[in-house]
Amino acid sequence: MTPLFGKVALVGIGLIGSSIAINLRERGLASEIAIATRREGTLARARELGLGTSYHSDPIEAVKDADLVILCVPVGACGAVAQAIAPALKPGAVVTDVGSVKGSVVADMAPHLPAHVHFVPGHPIAGTEQSGPDAGFLELFENRWTILTPVEGTQAQATERLRALWEAMGAMVEVMSAEHHDLVLAIVSHVPHLIAYNIVGTAADLETVTQSEVIKFSASGFRDFTRIAASDPTMWRDIFLTNREAVLEMLARFSEDLASLQRAIRWGDGDALFELFTRTRSIRRSIVEAGQDTAEANFGRLPPRKDPWNEAGD
Amino acid sequence: MTPLFGKVALVGIGLIGSSIAINLRERGLASEIAIATRREGTLARARELGLGTSYHSDPIEAVKDADLVILCVPVGACGAVAQAIAPALKPGAVVTDVGSVKGSVVADMAPHLPAHVHFVPGHPIAGTEQSGPDAGFLELFENRWTILTPVEGTQAQATERLRALWEAMGAMVEVMSAEHHDLVLAIVSHVPHLIAYNIVGTAADLETVTQSEVIKFSASGFRDFTRIAASDPTMWRDIFLTNREAVLEMLARFSEDLASLQRAIRWGDGDALFELFTRTRSIRRSIVEAGQDTAEANFGRLPPRKDPWNEAGD
């Protein structure tokens, strides 16, 4: 494939950054891949993995002459990075990011960016609970949606070039406003993560049930929540701090609905429970039909390995 | 293997019942397997699948001369079944169940059972979101815990025979009181299911985010919850109605903790969020180390199949 961009600079090389780097390299989508990250050890690891064509601890060095700059840092860091790299950005460059919140990223980055670059914020809806440059893989964006939220006045051509890049990495692309993005993500991602973190915390703090019991008997539902609650703490702290309004709004609705379920349980209203439990089943079916999850039982999880501790006890 | 029991009667042949039947048959753990279920179609399907050696629409027929009777019906139905089969139970028979709540099952069944049988309630902590006789498989109990909650005065020998059967099916066995079981399950299973059902319901009811957006962008966390929220509605209605006290207690703690998280978000207390998110990560690690879940990213889920709707639009 002809490279879609000449030089691409990746600032930050965690799960998303390294997956993009692998895609650029394997699919030949860029002629140069400059990688920047502050942490010495992470940069060395990226170099060992051969993720780029050049490696920089200063992002200013990486973005020089870049046709496309992708910020792959936690959303809370985007403003400072934009400020740092602004003077070095090449006229006509496309600048984007991969943050899970868009309103605050626009507010933090836009004031720093020169008028001669094209700013097209983006968010690939893809990830795993793992982080760091070793976590990346080629198929991460395959059949997943990437949302682009160009600000008013962005040239359509810049958005389309970025769309082409994401589609070349296997993603499907949708364009919407930053405000709407943040509302959608609050319900499909941010609040689910918050309640997963919360229940795992609640379970850890009980006096009546021991932590070892929680771990042993986790297979009955809880373990799914622990996977989500194992996501990167810095990234998720920033998400909740920056998408505060939408998260609090969705959380209020969740709590309202939960209070009503609690009441149904207290008063033995089996019909209300049954009605909800039937309705939620059909949403699962739609998600599987839309190709966004596997239909296999338990996500097609392999049977767990034999417990060594138990074997020792046999 | 020498059969551990002569004739085994299974009353109810859903996911758990059929998985037990397959284990008894494949591992030669019983000389006869009598299957009873009220529904005509389910019974016919069990026969087609060759799950038993005899098939009955009346449980009284099935339990006659049985050395072991296993109730595999929703917990709300256990009392009525116990009452129905009581007169036909063979002296010395072991009677057990597989229900997810133990206190109410003991309260509902014990008064009906004759003094000449051994009642050892049980609960295999294993399952998938699928139900019915086609959902069963041999490995379901492999490396999973089964909890037995013998009532006071139960002969230890009866409990040990049942333990041997579960271990022969690949399970690990723990004995505890019915009350403690219900508390443990409320936090590792019942409340997680309730909040999964709840968030899926909340998402479905929004006006600002469409159902199609929820489905498309579900990969960011929400889809995991929909799997849990696709579990059998009747079974789960019964669980919440019968384990009411423990569920309400755990739910109160969950809501308290959530309110405190909500406050941290509102006031921008990033340290509190970061502290919790770091702590929850280590619990995930313990669960993987205990062999209760896979360490693979995204549960080792296969990449989703290509979306046919999107292909048509390309």
Cβ A280–B220 below 8 Å, yes or no?
no
- Contact at 8 Å (CB) between A124 and A149? no
Please tell me if residue B247 touches chain A, with a CB cutoff of 8 Å.
yes
Partner-chain residue, chosen from B185, B248, B268, that has the shortest CB–CB distance to A262? B248
Please tell me if residue B183 touches chain A, with a CB cutoff of 8 Å.
yes
Residue the block writes with tokens 């002629």: A31
Residue B312 has pLDDT above 80, yes or no: no
User: In percent, how much of chain B has pLDDT > 70?
Assistant: 95
Burial annotation B161-193 (CB, 10 A radius, 16+ → b, else e): bbbebbebbbbbbbbeebebbbbbbbbbbbbbb
pLDDT confidence bin for B12, thresholds 50/70/90: very high
* Alpha-carbon span B49 to B56, nearest angstrom: 15
ipTM of the complex: 0.85
Q: Give tens-digit pLDDT for A116-134.
A: 999 999 999 998 878 899 9
Burial of B134 (0-12, 13-18, 19+ CB in 10 A): middle
pLDDT of residue A155: 94
pLDDT confidence bin for B301, thresholds 50/70/90: low
Residue the block writes with tokens 């207690």: B249
pLDDT confidence bin for A307, thresholds 50/70/90: very low
Cβ B274–A234 below 8 Å, yes or no?
yes
What chain B residue is nearest to A294 in terms of C-alpha separation? B304
Arithmetic mean of pLDDT, A194-222: 90
pLDDT of residue A240: 97
Domain annotation for chain A: domains and CATH numbers: 5-176 (3.40.50.720), 180-268 (1.10.3660.10)
* Alpha-carbon span B246 to B185, nearest angstrom: 9
Q: How far apart are the first and last CA of chain B?
A: 58
Q: Give tens-digit pLDDT for A86-104.
A: 999 999 999 999 999 999 9
pLDDT of residue B313: 28
Range with the lowest mean pLDDT among A14-23, B25-34, B127-136, B174-183?
B127-136
* Alpha-carbon span B308 to B314, nearest angstrom: 10
pLDDT of residue A253: 96
List Cβ neighbours of A27 (8 Å cut-off, separation of 6 or more): A1, A168, A169
Cβ A187–B195 below 8 Å, yes or no?
no
Give the C-alpha distances (Å, rounded to integers) separating A304 from B205, B289, B293.
Answer: 36, 10, 6
List Cβ neighbours of B200 (8 Å cut-off, separation of 6 or more): A280, A283, A284, B222, B225, B226, B229
Residue A314 has pLDDT above 80, yes or no: no
| DSSP conformational letter for B9 | E
Partner-chain residue, chosen from B290, B294, B298, that has the shortest CB–CB distance to A302? B294
